[in-house]
Structure 1
Amino acid sequence: MTLSLDTIEVKQISGVSAQKQAELHALGIFTVKDLLEYYPFRYEDYRPKSLSEVKHGDKVTVEAKVIGIPVLQRFGGKSRLSCKMMAEPWMFTATWFNRHYVREQLTAGRQVVISGKWDQKRSQITVTDYEFPDRGEGKTGTLQPVYSVSGKITQSWLRKTISQALLQFGDLIPEILPQPIMRKYEFMPRKRAITTIHQPEDSREGQQGRRRMVYEELFLFQLKVQAFRTLNRGRMDGMVHTVDNATVRQFVRSLPFELTNAQKTAELEILQDMRSSYCMNRLLQGDVGSGKTALAAIALFATVRSGFQGALMVPTEILAEQHSRSLQAMFEPFGITVALLTGSVNGRKRKDLLASLQMGLIDIVVGTHALIQEDVFFRELGLVVTDEQHRFGVNQRSVLRRKGYNPDVLTMTATPIPRTLAITVFGDMDVSTLSERPKGRIPISTYWVKPDKMDRVLNLIRREVVQGRQAYLICPLIEESDKLDVQNAIDLHIQLSQAFPDYRVGLLHGRMTPGEKDEVMRAFYDNEVQVLVSTTVVEVGVDVPNATLMIIMDADRFGLSQLHQLRGRVGRGEHASFCVLVADPKSEVGRERMAAMTETDDGFEVSRRDLELRGPGDFFGTKQSGLPEFRLADMTADFAVLEQARGDAAELLRDGTFWTSAEYAPLRSFLQKEHIFQGDLID
């Protein structure tokens, strides 16, 4: 049997005891492969420099000579050791804390290499590391990797263990990338790349090693996703929708607005998928108010006219009611029946609805999580549409899909992200993007004010409410917190109720029951409540065209995309709308968020900046989205590499020799281990 790094346990490395093995397991390191792919997150630079090259406060390594008598001071069980040193042409003081034993080694004229923080004002280095060249110690002149460690595992032990693993098992490191790609990018061999990441001779070599392994991570992931899609298309027989263009055009002409060019393109992509024999799995992404619901309606219309049923799942009851009302208005002239199924539908009404759905008397059902309960059956489910899909777990979405025989799937999100990243994050999905605003939509004016200008904000609320409009005020917390100095919803509700005694001020937060939330939101929708104080539960909510003012308290506490989603709650009617960010950010990131919000209202640009500030893991919520956790790659910083890897993977899979040639055997083996050939749907 051929030895493989992913089957050799770490205990087989010389110097790894049972205790150390357990500590490595705690770090997620079980095999030699795991250890060699446990990469450093930064490097300590032990290459000596001249102090004239170093800025105040920087860490530096210098070669120096002892020229003074070491002075030891003790205070409260601690010690401070100082000694004059010479690093031509600089004379400086080297200071050690709590290392009194070093005094005996600092003999006049002895050479010492010192690393530490340079205090230019005091001509002092606070020593963190040191070594004596006459002992033959080995850090000087090197870049030393720094790993994430815990427990009793030290940096030096982990470095030695990785070095030992490379010595023992380095020859077993397989080459995975095919030679055409190796030549195309002039990559170093895999063994050398891994070695040089752990033991770089210089920064350039380390960068070359990282470049190769980053590409490999992204390439293998793209190969996995695209191989699945290639195989899936031939395997997953879907519903073939047979509706003709003339019938669809008749419905589109009945809509009270004209489709944008982006909507027309997305419509063609969706209908082409629906008419094909394979199962559609398409993501429709677009900014708040870009017209995703209209496209969902066109797809549902095509489904019903092809003889199937459709389902639309949304995260809240009130949103389900709104979609149900708007779809009924669209479909009524065409004799298409729409039903609403939420947790509030119960008793006899629910039984009748479920029976009608199972018999095929209902064409389209709109609902919440109630759609995925065990007693919900369809006669022939042809299309599943999920709105704000990130609000549902993977299992919830797949349960609804399994209520039919491979129905087409359209998922919608108002968190627009770069196309390649969308394809990567959402796995086996084609992506349609709505990048235009519908005609007639008025841009939202966004302002950033400091908390001491709150009187102006109250005057703005008063102005809008007097004109018959409505306002949202968003807070990051429900109740007062000892840890965070932020405005909370309950206090603000009391203050605003006192400030506007002639108007009704509502309160909405996550600890209310679904029924209570719906009652408040319905009152706001009907203009029985003029000012709504809320936490972020309104981020995904109903359209209230009469709401023209969004005020976000402590706005620097929110992520950029969340701020943009909240802003999108207004600007949905015929009146000019405003978003006011109340914040006094102490951090640079907070100030950048405020600047971004006032400079652009383009959701794609906002998302791009959010990715830069937060990184994709925070942006998507890794567990919910299926975003891979790469060991080296960063999908924001390495976006250009991701594009290259995606193109290379697609080209390779189009080449018929990929499935048979010995050259690609390692890649086919990788796909085999990833269970790509089993055909489980990536969700």
Structure 2
Amino acid sequence: MQLDQISVRQIKGVSAPKEQELHAFGVRSVADLLDYFPFRYEDYRIRELADAKDGEKVTVLGIVRGVPVLQRYGRSKSRLTCKVEVGQWLVTAVWFNRHFLQDQLTVNREVMLTGKWEQRRLQMTVSESEFPDSARSAKSGTLQPVYSVSGSMTQAWIRKTIRQALAQYGTMIEELLPHELVERHDLMARRDAVQRIHLPDDASEGQAARRRLVYEELFLFQLKLQAYRALNRKRTDGIAHRIESETIREFAATLPFELTDGQKKVVNEILTDMRRPSCMNRLLQGDVGSGKTVVAAIALYGAVKAGHQGALMVPTEILAEQHMRSLQRLFADMGVEVALLTGSLTERKRRDALAGLQMGIIDIAVGTHALIQEDVFFRSLGLVVVDEQHRFGVNQRSILRRKGMNPDVLTMTATPIPRTMAITAFGDMDVSTIRERPHGRKPIKTYWVKHGMMERVLAFIRKEVTKGRQAYIICPLIEESEKLDVQNAIDLYVQTQQSFPDLRIGLLHGRMTAAEKDGAMGAFGSNETQVLVATTVVEVGVDVPNATLIIIMDAERFGLSQLHQLRGRVGRGEHQSHCILVADPKSETGRERMKVMTETDDGFEVSRRDLEIRGPGDFFGTKQSGLPEFRLADMVADYELLETAREDAAELTEREDFWSDASYARVRGVLQKDSYFQGEQLD
């Protein structure tokens, strides 16, 4: 029997109530428990006080040299002090609310103390203590694992239970990785690694165990992604689009601008994929305003000219309407029919759009999640483009894909993703990247000011509007909140009207109807309103080239990537643009964000710094993006192992013997448990 088939109830000391507590942590089998790794260690190794820094937490071994003195405060509080000889020092040891130790602290008895060392006072505030001559002494001289626990589950109990599980079942731990990888990377055997990560003799042993298990975790994840890619490339049931290069060149010649070298490169990558009989699964990432939309338009045009239809799914109705207008302009003389499909369409318009798609009259549908509703049918869907893909769940994307017979898929994001993140989150995709700005675009100048400088900010708005330009003012909330002392759009709108009585001020927020949003954006786009007060509804995609100034109120409340997205609403025309962050951050993280924003307007650098500050879990929002929640691995700290694991997984899955040789049976078994591969013959 394998460890994942043995219930934790079989471990000595695990009662029925404790079993239920473990279940709450997702621990049901012995394998689950042994894979319940510590997130850090408490260091109880004996130190010399001469090597300890003032204020440091240390563990020392000493001898009781004085009679303990107990002081009580009220019913339950107490302070116990005792002189203890530690090496060459006579130290005052202090315990709070440990009155029961008074009788145990007998003169000349050896004691182990863990606590904060105050060198100037020759005093240690003791958090934990043990007597080495006691049968219950367990920590002396060791590294103790620290686990995530809650409720009535204690560190002592989980440590004891895992030790017991190792004693009962440790010899049943099997190797998962192919022998060649263990040898190649000088990895600890799995049985030893599991033993040592829970019970390390020293720090280096714990680190070696962690390295082995992190590599395994990353390798198994990458193996699924690379196996998916390998099998997908072998499939020939996709659409081999017959796209003539001359057709694309003729269309590109009609554009009002010349494509950048970066755009040309990714267009070639996408069209090469589309011409193959296997399904394209490509991510197009580029900084704000780098020209991804026109690349998507060229791909959609290619699909239409090859006799198929295209679909462009975006997260908001504002963005859907803007994309539809952009595509209609680009295809005005090309005979391509573009239609909108969103939740706010009238019943008649929706009915007409559905009929047009089903009959093939409409070539390209642009819409929100309305595109994936059950009554939407295409005559021949050949290309699916998903914009700002991290805003859609994995299931939503796959439903749209099933609207056709294995159409090609191009996903786009304006959140530039560090290589580490792209490898992990999108390892099953090919990645195309546009790094350069379109010709003529100037860097956006970014400033950070405190709220006390608002008069100067208002004067700057006046200066830009006088030149004929326009400005956004962004705030985090729509209405006043008792919990958050931040500007809100409605109050800010009124204040802005009072500050500029001679200007026309617009308002845009998420609770407005679609018609109201259209009206607000239309008025701003045509310069009927000079200043637009808005929430983050304008974060993605809204394109007004005449807007050269964006003021972001309470900027410390936004994440770095979101601030960069908002900044990207300006700098889209020929004029110099500015971004002003109004913030009084109280946290170090808030100050760091402001510093990063003023130092760079390179989205890839912003993303890298955001990943460092926030960590990978919050970068997209794990549930939305399908990012894995690793037990041990950290995508920032372990990026070298991540790249190594990806290369190893890619190499193995490309080899014929991997899919048939008995030496890989166990690791193929991991793949077989995944729902995608259950229909595939892996051995």
**Which TM-score applies when normalising by structure 2?**
0.96
Q: Which piece of structure 1 moves more, 152-161 or 331-340?
A: 331-340
* Distance in 2 separating the partners of 1:447 and 1:596: 11
Q: Which piece of structure 1 moves more, 466-475 or 570-579?
A: 466-475
Q: Give the structure 1 partner of residue 126 of structure 2.
A: 127
Q: Give the structure 2 partner of residue 19 of structure 1.
A: 17
Q: Give the structure 1 partner of residue 646 of structure 2.
A: 646
Q: Give the structure 2 partner of residue 6 of structure 1.
A: 4
- 2:54 is the alignment partner of 1:86: no
* Distance in 2 separating the partners of 1:549 and 1:519: 21
Residue 4 of structure 2 aligns with an amino acid whose one-letter code is D
Q: How does 1:68-467 map to 2 (within 5 A)?
A: 68-77=66-75, 78-136=77-135, 137-235=137-235, 237-467=237-467
Q: Give the structure 2 partner of residue 665 of structure 1.
A: 665
Q: Which piece of structure 1 moves more, 484-493 or 462-471?
A: 484-493
* Distance in 2 separating the partners of 1:518 and 1:118: 65
User: Cα 1:679–1:495, aligned 2, differ >3 Å: closer, same or farther?
Assistant: farther
* Distance in 2 separating the partners of 1:383 and 1:418: 26
Q: Give the structure 2 partner of residue 66 of structure 1.
A: 64
* Distance in 2 separating the partners of 1:391 and 1:669: 33
Q: How does 1:597-676 map to 2 (within 5 A)?
A: 597-676=597-676
Q: Which piece of structure 1 moves more, 265-274 or 400-409?
A: 400-409
Contact persistence 1:287–1:415 (CA under 8 A): yes
* Distance in 1 separating the partners of 2:47 and 2:145: 19
* Distance in 2 separating the partners of 1:356 and 1:225: 37
* Distance in 1 separating the partners of 2:354 and 2:660: 51
* Distance in 2 separating the partners of 1:273 and 1:280: 6
Deviation at 1:664, TM superposition (A): 1.0
* Distance in 2 separating the partners of 1:327 and 1:676: 35
Q: Which piece of structure 1 moves more, 8-17 or 491-500?
A: 491-500
* Distance in 1 separating the partners of 2:512 and 2:167: 61
Residue 179 of structure 1 aligns with an amino acid whose one-letter code is H
Deviation at 1:489, TM superposition (A): 2.6
Contact persistence 1:423–1:430 (CA under 8 A): no
Residue 128 of structure 2 aligns with an amino acid whose one-letter code is D
**Which TM-score applies when normalising by structure 1?**
0.96
- 2:50 is the alignment partner of 1:38: no
* Distance in 2 separating the partners of 1:427 and 1:240: 23
Decide which of 50, 53, 59 is 1:52's aligned counterpart. Answer: 50
Deviation at 1:485, TM superposition (A): 3.2
Contact persistence 1:228–1:679 (CA under 8 A): no
Contact persistence 2:393–2:623 (CA under 8 A): no
SS at match of 1:134: coil
Q: Which piece of structure 1 moves more, 196-205 or 106-115?
A: 106-115
Contact persistence 1:67–1:109 (CA under 8 A): yes
* Distance in 1 separating the partners of 2:338 and 2:508: 29
* Distance in 2 separating the partners of 1:153 and 1:582: 46
Q: State the Cα deviation string for residues 301-352 of structure 1 (Å, max 9, x = none).
A: 1111111111112222232222222212221222222222333432433333
Deviation at 1:506, TM superposition (A): 2.6
SS at match of 1:105: coil
* Distance in 2 separating the partners of 1:222 and 1:349: 45
Contact persistence 1:196–1:205 (CA under 8 A): yes
Deviation at 1:148, TM superposition (A): 0.6
* Distance in 1 separating the partners of 2:179 and 2:394: 38
Residue 13 of structure 2 aligns with an amino acid whose one-letter code is G
Contact persistence 1:232–1:679 (CA under 8 A): no
Contact persistence 1:474–1:533 (CA under 8 A): yes
Structure 2: 5+ residue runs without aligned partners? Answer: none
* Distance in 1 separating the partners of 2:358 and 2:491: 49
Contact persistence 1:317–1:518 (CA under 8 A): no
Q: Which piece of structure 1 moves more, 362-371 or 536-545?
A: 362-371
* Distance in 2 separating the partners of 1:182 and 1:66: 50
Q: Give the structure 1 partner of residue 494 of structure 2.
A: 494
* Distance in 2 separating the partners of 1:376 and 1:280: 22
Contact persistence 2:393–2:626 (CA under 8 A): no
SS at match of 1:322: helix
User: Cα 1:317–1:481, aligned 2, differ >3 Å: closer, same or farther?
Assistant: closer
Q: State the Cα deviation string for residues 525-553 of structure 1 (Å, max 9, x = none).
A: 22222222222221114201111111111
* Distance in 2 separating the partners of 1:483 and 1:606: 29
Residue 67 of structure 1 aligns with an amino acid whose one-letter code is R
* Distance in 2 separating the partners of 1:8 and 1:347: 57
Residue 129 of structure 1 aligns with an amino acid whose one-letter code is E
Q: How does 1:500-519 map to 2 (within 5 A)?
A: 500-519=500-519
Deviation at 1:73, TM superposition (A): 1.1
Q: Which piece of structure 1 moves more, 192-201 or 528-537?
A: 528-537
- 2:573 is the alignment partner of 1:543: no
SS at match of 1:6: helix
Q: Which piece of structure 1 moves more, 57-66 or 194-203?
A: 57-66
CA RMSD after TM alignment:
1.7
Q: Which piece of structure 1 moves more, 296-305 or 230-239?
A: 230-239
Deviation at 1:256, TM superposition (A): 1.5
User: Cα 1:337–1:510, aligned 2, differ >3 Å: closer, same or farther?
Assistant: closer
Q: Which piece of structure 1 moves more, 426-435 or 192-201?
A: 426-435
* Distance in 1 separating the partners of 2:514 and 2:19: 49
Deviation at 1:263, TM superposition (A): 1.2
SS at match of 1:273: helix
User: Cα 1:202–1:255, aligned 2, differ >3 Å: closer, same or farther?
Assistant: same
User: Cα 1:485–1:65, aligned 2, differ >3 Å: closer, same or farther?
Assistant: farther
Deviation at 1:514, TM superposition (A): 3.5
Contact persistence 2:262–2:436 (CA under 8 A): yes
* Distance in 1 separating the partners of 2:396 and 2:661: 40
SS at match of 2:153: coil
* Distance in 2 separating the partners of 1:295 and 1:113: 68
* Distance in 2 separating the partners of 1:236 and 1:128: 66
Deviation at 1:220, TM superposition (A): 0.6
SS at match of 1:284: strand
* Distance in 2 separating the partners of 1:413 and 1:505: 31
SS at match of 2:81: strand
SS at match of 1:440: coil
Deviation at 1:146, TM superposition (A): 0.6
Deviation at 1:427, TM superposition (A): 4.6
Contact persistence 2:372–2:396 (CA under 8 A): yes
* Distance in 2 separating the partners of 1:157 and 1:367: 54
Q: State the Cα deviation string for residues 434-470 of structure 1 (Å, max 9, x = none).
A: 1111111111001111222221111111111222211
Number of matched pairs:
678
Q: Which piece of structure 1 moves more, 256-265 or 593-602?
A: 256-265
* Distance in 2 separating the partners of 1:493 and 1:469: 19
Deviation at 1:679, TM superposition (A): 5.5
Deviation at 1:236, TM superposition (A): 6.0
Q: State the Cα deviation string for residues 206-236 of structure 1 (Å, max 9, x = none).
A: 0000000000000011111111221123236
Contact persistence 2:230–2:654 (CA under 8 A): no
User: Cα 1:29–1:294, aligned 2, differ >3 Å: closer, same or farther?
Assistant: same
User: Cα 1:42–1:399, aligned 2, differ >3 Å: closer, same or farther?
Assistant: same
Contact persistence 2:45–2:59 (CA under 8 A): yes
Identity fraction in percent: 68
Residue 255 of structure 2 aligns with an amino acid whose one-letter code is L
Deviation at 1:105, TM superposition (A): 1.0
Structure 1: 5+ residue runs without aligned partners? Answer: none
Residue 368 of structure 2 aligns with an amino acid whose one-letter code is T
Q: State the Cα deviation string for residues 586-633 of structure 1 (Å, max 9, x = none).
A: 222222211111111111111011111111110021111111111100
User: Cα 1:353–1:173, aligned 2, differ >3 Å: closer, same or farther?
Assistant: same
Contact persistence 2:446–2:598 (CA under 8 A): yes
Q: Which piece of structure 1 moves more, 652-661 or 163-172?
A: 652-661
